[in-house]
Structure 1
């Protein structure tokens, strides 16, 4: 794709984000789009958000667990950038009117104390570079009509980033078994999903190492203080006005989020 085409598609996604109005799948419009093209479109989309005043506060890994891959029809991980406008804290109420077609997923967030740059990063390097881990909800959102996405679509759309909610509980990954620790997600007081760290690339630390190495090859480091979302341990859960979700990770603690308002779609 030419630079003008890359910029046009990135701008269209940014406009969809602002207007909360989805656009048709990229693959329907550009059948020969590659994943490299898609990441260049993502760069443009994110650059528009940064130019509007947002800042990068971390990174996210998407499509790591089998349930999410099967639901979305994508079968490899992807990544996106987390910005300052996406951040929520434990107990917040997320305004769904800011989003188009939101779904929630529960995962583990890594908060870094040291810089980390691939290639060559191992899961143990990730553990050593991590200050603490927290239970987390990511509220994914797609600027693509009806979530009709393939890997190129979600990559271009900044890995379907919406907003995320960091739990208050903090745990030391050197003492907590993040691979075997079970997760329970409750929706309005009833169990909606269960998971375990091993569902994410064998361990959330493996997923974070994959991302560090993938970004390292592009010259992009992890930076101390950044938040890295390691990938969903639960199925995607649709949310509407009045819903409340709680995810609890064994040995770590919980994260709670409420929702109000009406999403665009």
Structure 2
């Protein structure tokens, strides 16, 4: 993890900009021009860590991680060759079928995902897919509400990583499914808005298999201060195109073998 001093660190200044956008409800300019040139990924995570540690100091409870940029097309667009990740906190979770306050977000969009819930720690590494399968307790259908504190979603890799991987909130389904006999790669997904289909896909859209994304995340975090732990939720990445949200929208996601999950925006 990166060492930083809030008194002088440019990373803290970038984190301040993102935090103020979230607090005020007014999107901010990109942070990339505030930050040192070089390793965009490392710089972005240094900013992300500032606000992660602030959140922990305020008593927010971490409950897992989200994986972003699992789509090869999106990675090509941003000029990167790997996914990214952000922290999930308990106050980001909403219940299946109940109302989500749209005013909490600045520029919300929704994605259909497969969530994995861990029953064992994944510390150390590197890990094999067998290690991850043994660690997974069950899978759930999920809706991730992505959001950007940066105006107009004008983001590069460093911007989205710094902004907690453009995370917003998430909704989990209520019927857990074990992995035995379940082929997540072939699991088809449909997402509807007010009864009209708006996104389709399958598990293969997520790095070829959602478990591939989970292995990547376990390796990325295994030797950090925040490795994956028993009980963590892992949002493995979008199964189909992202969809913009308007007040009053109702979305339902169905994933073969996992059932459905629904959310309604106030």
| TM-score, normalising length: structure 2 | 0.92
Structure 1 residue runs of 5 or longer lacking an equivalent are 261-265
| Deviation for aligned residue 1:248 | 0.5
| Deviation for aligned residue 1:233 | 0.6
Aligned CA distance change for structure 1 residues 258 and 74 (closer, same or farther; 3 Å)? farther
- For residue 120 of structure 2, the aligned residue among 105, 114, 117 is 114
Counterpart residue number, 1:20: 25
CA distance in 2, matches of 1:245, 1:69: 26
1:108-187 equivalent positions in 2, closer than 5 A: 108-187=114-193
Counterpart residue number, 2:262: 256
Contact 1:244-1:258 within 8 A present in 2 as well: yes
Contact 1:10-1:42 within 8 A present in 2 as well: yes
Contact 1:122-1:206 within 8 A present in 2 as well: no
| Deviation for aligned residue 1:50 | 2.2
SS of the counterpart of 2:186?
coil
RMSD value, Cα: 1.9
Q: Please say which of residues 167-176 and 94-103 is displaced more in the overlay.
A: 167-176
CA distance in 1, matches of 2:175, 2:60: 26
| TM-score, normalising length: structure 1 | 0.92
Contact 2:72-2:207 within 8 A present in 1 as well: no
| Deviation for aligned residue 1:71 | 6.8
| Deviation for aligned residue 1:200 | 0.7
Q: Please say which of residues 101-110 and 85-94 is displaced more in the overlay.
A: 85-94
Q: Is 1:10 aligned with 2:15?
A: yes
| Deviation for aligned residue 1:218 | 2.7
SS of the counterpart of 1:212?
helix
| Deviation for aligned residue 1:134 | 0.3
Structure 2 residue runs of 5 or longer lacking an equivalent are none
Aligned CA distance change for structure 1 residues 169 and 67 (closer, same or farther; 3 Å)? farther
Q: Is 1:225 aligned with 2:207?
A: no
Q: Please say which of residues 19-28 and 173-182 is displaced more in the overlay.
A: 19-28
| Deviation for aligned residue 1:42 | 0.1
CA distance in 2, matches of 1:236, 1:70: 16
Deviations along 1:144-201, one digit per CA (max 9) or x if unpaired, are 1110001100000000110000011211112211111111111110111111111111
- For residue 213 of structure 2, the aligned residue among 207, 210, 219 is 207
